[in-house]
Structure 1
Amino acid sequence: MPTDTPQPNFVLVRPQMGENIGAAARAMWNFGLDRMRIVAPRDGWPNQRAVAMASGAGRLLDEAVLTPDLPTALDDCAFTFATTARPRGLTKPVYTPEEAMKEAHARVQAGEKVAVMFGPERAGLENEDIAKANAIISVPVNPEFASLNLGQCVLLCAYEWRRAAHAATPMEYELAGTDWASAIEVEKLSEHYEDRLSDAGFFFPEEKADSMKTNLRNLWSRMPLTRADVQTLHGVLRQMVRWKERG
């Protein structure tokens, strides 16, 4: 059975190659989606090439809803997006994948059933198909080579759905078993370096010593130091002093 996670239905309209259906299933499951609907696949269903390409995502194909036509696939959906790379002369709102999946997420959270249509590999969705959609998703691709593989297009939309649904952090640190250094730890490190540099005659001439110390403290404060970093820097300085004393 599909998961209970609220999500859109990805509708493959008249897909031609089993391998691409399998690739679409893998792309969906990579990002936690498992509601696939397949409209009139060219090579019939089930399709062993799709199963082979799906690899660990074969469950999606087992549970996919097969329909003979597009109206049947969309009959319970309140809002539908159509993916297309070409202008179609139809008056509809046009979204990027990112904005479309934000809109899809808001609608799904409000209890609506949402569908995202993907066209056959050769030429994409027909105008008759797109006329049934409420909005268009257009990927900002190279206009000289605008054709996207079915699996690629599904992957893009599935990725953006995951970002919208899980509020992905744009950047984060992997602290690898340590933690950020506290202010007092950085202060003690700064004092350690100031003391040893003073002993070495670094703060010269005397009238510039205060500004040099301020610059050095500012350097430490700009660094995102971990406790492991602080311990390492203390150790480096101690070893350099020991080495000098042995000399």
Structure 2
Amino acid sequence: MSFKNISFILHKPQLSENIGACARALKNFNFQKLLLVDPKPIFPNDKIIATSVGAKDIIKGAKVFDHLENSLKKIDILVATSARFRNKNIKHISISDLNKIDYSKKVGFLFGSEASGLSNEEVSYADYTLQIPSNKNFRSLNLSHSLIIVAQIINSLISNKKYKFEKSKKIKTASKKDIQSMLSLCINNLEQRNFFNPPEKKPIMLENLRSIFYKMNLSEKETRILSSVFAGLTKKR
């Protein structure tokens, strides 16, 4: 278990002050990895650095991506935070369930933009969704406040607990990159067969496909097998 295994991902953050406050929160609780996906303000800027209050190293080491999928290539387990309960076939966990996650793996916590949070499409990349308990009549939390709550809890779990896992050490869990490669092959083959028809339903069909594969906890070997299966489907008899 290592603090270096944990990444905090801000999806389309809109305010420089919130980005800086998030960086400060990460340093407060001994985390280092801040990832930003398509931030609205120029990154970095003076306001971000000022509100980070001493966390310039977090800002300097932060990575910026143009799309969520690109930010997940080194993530094994993704937890999406949301103020809304999603009516999707995905595992919903509570704050008290965070101790069940294997922090020896590379874990990412995904936070949505201040205005709209995360869409169902973005949530479809996640293994779990996490709802922070709050006033049922006023659930919306500030971005940096949400992050600092999660960061404090994960800090406590990593610092104070040891975990034992019975899975064979010979079995390697597939990374997001492994799953992305397999899924890309599947999608390309489906497109060749005109599967996504009518075209207007393609986005929701892709969303459902991602959700299925990302929550299956596949091993590296299983992704290779599935990739071979998808490749074999295109071969002529």
For Structure 1 versus Structure 2, the TM-score category normalised by the shorter chain is 0.5 to 0.7
SS in 2 for 1:82: strand
Cα RMSD over matched residues?
1.5
CA deviations over 1:14-68 (Å, ceiling 9, x no partner): 0000100011111111111111101000112222211110011111011001111
Off by >6 Å, runs of 4+ in structure 1: none
1:103 matches 2:100: yes
State how far apart, in whole Å, the 2-side matches of 1:151 and 1:53 are. 11
Aligned: 1:72 with 2:52: no
Give the number of the structure whose residues are more often helix, by fraction: 1
Q: TM-score, normalised by structure 1?
A: 0.62
Deviations 1:110-136 (A, max 9, x none): xx2111100000121111100110001
Partner in structure 2 of residue 39 of structure 1: 37
Partner of 2:133: 140
Matched with 1:160 is: 153
In structure 2, relative to structure 1, the CA distance for the partners of 1:19 and 1:166 (3 Å cut) is same
2:103 and 2:158 in contact (8 A); partners too: no
The 10-residue stretch of structure 1 (86-95 or 141-150) with the greater mean CA deviation from structure 2: 86-95
Say if 2:85 and 2:131, in contact at 8 Å, map to a contact too: no
Larger Rg over CA atoms? 1
Letter matched to residue 58 of structure 1: K
Q: Which of 116, 123, 127 is the equivalent residue of 1:130? A: 123
Q: By how many angstroms is 1:77 displaced?
A: 1.1
Match for 1:83: what amino acid?
A: T
Partner of 2:10: 12
Matched residue count: 160
Conservation of the 8 A alpha-carbon contact between 1:24 and 1:154? yes
* Partner Cα distance (1:117, 1:128) in 2: 13
Counterparts of 1:152 and 1:54 in 2: how far apart (Å)?
Answer: 14
* TM norm structure 2: 0.64
The structure, 1 or 2, with the larger RCO (C-alpha pairs under 8 Å, 6+ apart) is: 2
Q: Which residue of 1 aligns with 2:85?
A: 87
Pair 97,48 (structure 1): closer, same or farther in 2 beyond 3 Å: farther
Kept after mapping to 1: 8 A contact 2:11/2:36: yes
2:180 counterpart residue number: none
Partner-residue secondary structure (3-state), 1:37: strand
SS at match of 2:53: helix
Match of 2:19 among 21, 30, 38: 21
